[in-house]
Chains A and B, each alone.
Chain A
């Protein structure tokens, strides 16, 4: 029971990071592809306005995930971090570059400076979800054995499943960002940006859906066990739900109903994460390390869960307040207060 609860807690953190952190990385993707300095300025300004107050809080989900893993599943954590050292370290460097460039570009004085920092921000925003996705793909494909760097340091995360999950992470983040930014643009009463993000949301949503379908084909040959899990039982339910949420999202985007689309787009991602967990149940590191084998003693799990329960009571109201302030436009980076 306690190990399953600890897995659930880890999945909450992972989902928080994939949806909220992922959307921030996706915003970087739209920054990267916004076009020249003048043409891309409105999109970039909206990205900055939406991200500035929340990206640090959104990033903490990742720290939270790491902490849960090393406390509740220390041996799996050690195995993952040693075998997958390359993609995870590259993602870490990307996080430094992304966060550093984003925080510092606000003070850029010349166009050249803003461009260099902006490009660093945008490019690393694409690399981080790719490498994290590749690492997740490696675990799901059963390439991370128990042990100190006992898996192959390169081929473990360069297989078809890894590349695919990496690309899917980038696409899903970009899609979430387009939806969130579309909703923000509507609230800011910027119809031209609403239209711009509608096109982006539809395009990235279609791309993410296509990647997911291709993914099933890739997984069926590269990771048959995972494929079986995704096409039977609870795994299948999640996959279908995710597909349904995706289709509904596209329909909502078509009608520019971004407020609702935020929820359905997030649901599509949540369902995929849940489907992955269901597909490889009871394993934490397939094909051999189960959740119960990997779990810390009950006393540690109980302490972590109690501490997290109490922590959530403080965290959730604070987080809700932050998002409400941010969404209502009461946290903005401009110096002059709005009328």
Chain B
């Protein structure tokens, strides 16, 4: 058992509120991360089309998207700042005890973020002032830092789920190996899962906006181009995500059996475990097949640890199912589009397809958040898996509910105003002359 570096656990009446405040801050920020990951690549693709074809429509579209991109980036900068503040404001004992183990990843992320901020400014404010080729080139670092930045943040989350790169001796952290901690073995599947999620969420949300326009009768060429680009991005990634999800779930089954048991609400360790469906139906052996690719495999149940060491099962279970159900539906929707495109070289013309697109945007957000709830709540009661409990990490400072309420109000206003401004941006006339 670990002793905290600041002197061990404190009596914090509002631990639950601290967790909820962290969760809220995260839920506000993570959709913006998706746009940080995927939007630059989409904008650059369209700008590249302009350079290849000389068609000014592509340039206008890329320019318009880049305005939305920088607006979302700015909101992401401030909400991301709140997250890094909260690391210390809410969980000082966690940071004090393990900051020197996992901090290196955040150091590298800091440089990524710095370069991203620099090049996004040059790119967005450099339209028509830099030569077209140089301008396109300044967008490349934005895409690359989107990869490295998310890789490094995910490295820390992977480490929290599979803490490596240190030993505990007499309650203290010793033998720190920061590079081992950084390249923990959870890093790759978590990163790929999140990186693809970025493209799915940004792709479907942008496609959904233009799908809504289609339903409202806006069917000019630039609408069609925007819809096809965004939808292609989402449609290509959504089916791949199913495979990555399978990889992630099998890794969890091996390394965090209690978390996997919570996914399925499996109370007892079972050989040939079934998969239960809503309404009490069960598919024999399916859970064993899903978790280990073997119908006879033994799946560990919640009973392998005492009740105190189990996560809140219902939350994890329903979040997991929500994510899987929506993810599968999105993959199917993407497949529908790809099939029609492959056979007829055009968008599906049906009303229901476009209605589904409008729903797919918000649903992809729900799946994203549900996925993060699955992994974060599924790790409870640990902040560092099987090493430090969340209640050991929390601050001794007072006033958490007041801070939570203040931040919630400010975020509500921020979201509302940002939504109005984005809508306004979308309504500006599109001159394709």
Contacts and interface: CB of A to CB of B under 8 A. Distances in A.
Question: Which bucket holds chain A's interface residue count?
Answer: 35 or more
Interface stretch (B88-96, B269-277, B304-312): B88-96
B95 A304 contact: no
B341 interface: no
Contacts of A54: 121
B6 A67 contact: no
A70 B425 contact: no
8 contacts: A53-B122, A78-B96, A81-B95, A82-B396, A85-B403, A95-B81, A148-B93, A333-B125
A56 B74 contact: yes
A147 B100 contact: no
Interface stretch (B103-111, B191-199, B349-357): B103-111
Nearest to B394: A148
A109 interface: yes
A268 to B, nearest CB: 25
A59 B280 CA distance: 53
Given A149-B397, A300-B100, A331-B122, A81 B129 contact: no
Interface residues of B, number: 73
Interface of A: 52-54, 56-57, 59-60, 62-64, 66-68, 70-72, 74-75, 77-83, 85-86, 88-89, 92-93, 95-100, 102-104, 107, 109, 117, 146-150, 153, 296-297, 299-300, 303-304, 307-308, 311, 314-315, 318-319, 321-322, 325-326, 330-333, 337
Nearest to B415: A100
Given A74-B97, A75-B5, A96-B81, A315 B115 contact: yes
A85 B92 CA distance: 10
Contacts of A72: 100, 103
Given A60-B113, A321-B118, 19 more contacts: A56-B121, A66-B88, A70-B103, A71-B100, A74-B97, A81-B95, A82-B88, A85-B397, A95-B78, A96-B82, A150-B7, A150-B396, A300-B178, A311-B111, A315-B114, A318-B118, A321-B122, A322-B118, A330-B130
Contacts of B399: 85-86, 153
A74 B99 CA distance: 5
Contacts of B79: 96
B177 to A, nearest CB: 7
A93 B79 CA distance: 10
B96 A304 contact: no
B117 interface: yes
Interface in B36-93: 70-71, 73-75, 77-82, 84-85, 87-89, 92-93
Nearest to B94: A78
B176 A299 contact: yes
B170 interface: no
B88 A77 contact: yes
A274 B87 CA distance: 27
Given A89-B85, A303-B178, A330-B129, A67 B107 contact: yes
Nearest to A303: B178
A182 to B, nearest CB: 22
B395 interface: yes
Contacts of B113: 60, 63
Contacts of A86: 397, 399
Given A85-B395, A85-B399, A300-B103, A96 B78 contact: yes
Contact of A56 (B73, B110, B396, B414): B73
A304 B117 contact: no
A88 B87 CA distance: 12
B82 to A, nearest CB: 6
A83 B424 CA distance: 43
A62 B396 CA distance: 24
Interface of B: 4-7, 10, 70-71, 73-75, 77-82, 84-85, 87-89, 92-93, 95-101, 103-104, 106-111, 113-115, 117-122, 125-126, 128-130, 141, 176-179, 395-399, 403, 406-407, 410-411, 414, 417-418, 421, 424-425
A86 B403 CA distance: 9
A115 B268 CA distance: 62
Given A300-B103, A314-B115, A81 B81 contact: no
B88 A100 contact: no
Given A92-B82, A103-B75, A104-B71, A315 B111 contact: yes
B413 to A, nearest CB: 8
A81 B418 CA distance: 30
Contacts of B397: 82-83, 85-86, 149, 153
Contact of A81 (B89, B109, B125): B89
A74 B121 contact: no
A317 B129 CA distance: 20
5 smallest beta-carbon distances between A and B, as pairs: A71-B103, A81-B88, A74-B99, A78-B96, A296-B100
A325 B122 contact: yes
B395 A148 contact: yes
Nearest to A68: B107
B92 A79 contact: yes
A150 B8 CA distance: 12
A320 to B, nearest CB: 10
A303 B407 CA distance: 35
B120 A56 contact: yes
A67 B87 CA distance: 10
Nearest to B74: A103
B176 A297 contact: yes
Nearest to B71: A103
B88 A70 contact: yes
A314 B119 CA distance: 12
Most buried by A among B80, B82, B104: B104
A303 B176 CA distance: 11
B114 A74 contact: no
Contacts of B177: 299
Contacts of B95: 70, 74, 77-78, 81
A330 B103 contact: no
A64 B115 contact: no
Contacts of A88: 85, 88-89
B96 A79 contact: yes
Contacts of A153: 397-399
Nearest to B96: A78
A95 to B, nearest CB: 5
Nearest to B4: A148
Most buried by A among B101, B122, B425: B122
A135 B122 CA distance: 34
B78 A149 contact: no
B106 A78 contact: no
A331 B129 contact: yes
Nearest to A70: B99
